[in-house]
Amino acid sequence: MRRLPPVLLEDGCPRDLLSLVRTILAACKEISFRVGQGELSGVLGSTLDENIQGETQKKLDVLSNQLLKDILLESGYVKAIASEEEDYTVAGEPNAKYIVSFDPLDGSSNIDINSLVGTIFSIMEAPEGSDAADPSIFMQPGRKQVAAGYVLYGPSTMLALTTGKGTRLYTLDKTHGSFLLTQDFVSIPEETQEFAVNMSNQRHWQTPMQNYIADLLAGDTGPRAKNFNMRWIAAMVGDVHRVLSRGGIFTYPTDTKDPKKPNKLRLLYEANPMAFLVEQAGGLAIADGQPIMDIEPDAIHQRVEVILGSKNEVEKCLSYYK
């Protein structure tokens, strides 16, 4: 592997934004260490609490949230944060320029089985003259993101980052503690034969998604005339990383399993940052027939459908809805 300099190669990116990304990465290095220590870190297992979405909080969810929250609010760069693990937005430096939304530990049901988890983040500018305590500063479409990324705590710890000029992958060199650029300008292949969906929800999907997946499963004897492979990591961060690495289509479609929750994934700190990374790598990211990043949010914990990945395959999937 050709080693590139241990700096974030985000050309033309404002220095304060880069410093803010580095601040997030400082917390992620600490989370990476704790995740890597596993049982030895004493933070496996659940707390007795639930988050606002009614999900049991894992000890590592709470710890990761606290690490990110503290470092961001103390950094001076951040006007307010919105986190999956916080009921409400939290105000920071009143005159700061940026707001950060994050999922501190995505895929946390994987923690106790020593499988993939990650941190997802999204950065926007706060509207000028806005109040740090006003949650409506987060009600901006994903197109307004100035940076987004995730840190994947896998066999190696990797960062996927975009500041709007392509998507890059960095690998944490644990001997130096720096994220080194290991893939410049990620490009998602337009064609794929791999899909990711939680098949156990099949009977609850809308008819177009049922028909689309049925045709994938039919393989070379069906209308698509080719065989498809399936993968499901149960951590969006891991599934999207595979899509960035070798293509594929990932979806968490709308379903009728729980009428109060037709969608699973959260717009601000899951769908939007992943959509930015995927679009910057040449892929598509859609919800209800429109680009995810065009959705005008109306609540910080809003959930949306997600269909993302290889351009031609996502378009094929959407054609079933027409």
Q: Which residues are registered as beta bridge partners of 319? A: none
One of 23, 69, 77, 107 touching ligand F6P (CB under 6 A): 107
198 is in an annotated binding site: yes
Decide which of Mn ion, ligand F6P, none touches 99; Cβ closer than 5 to 8 Å per partner kind: none
Decide which of ligand F6P, Mn ion, none touches 34; Cβ closer than 5 to 8 Å per partner kind: none
One of 106, 194, 279, 305 touching Mn ion (CB under 5 A): 106
69 is in an annotated binding site: no
Nearest residue (CB) to Mn ion, 64 versus 310: 64
Task: Determine, following the binding rule CB under 6 A, whether residue 168 of this chain makes contact with ligand F6P.
Answer: no
**Nearest distance from residue 4's CB to ligand F6P, in Å?**
29
178 is in an annotated binding site: no
Nearest residue (CB) to ligand F6P, 137 versus 235: 235
108 is in an annotated binding site: yes
**Nearest distance from residue 236's CB to ligand F6P, in Å?**
4
Distance CA 61, CA 51 (A): 10
Total of chain residues touching ligand F6P, rule CB under 6 A: 8
Nearest residue (CB) to Mn ion, 106 versus 313: 106
The region of 105-113, 145-153, 177-185, 208-216 touching Mn ion under the rule CB under 5 A is 105-113
Task: Determine, following the binding rule CB under 6 A, whether residue 248 of this chain makes contact with ligand F6P.
Answer: no
Under rule CB under 5 A, which residues in 280-309 are in contact with Mn ion? Answer: none
Contact predicate 210/202, CB 8 Å = yes
Residues that bind ligand F6P (CB under 6 A): 106-107, 198, 234-236, 252, 264
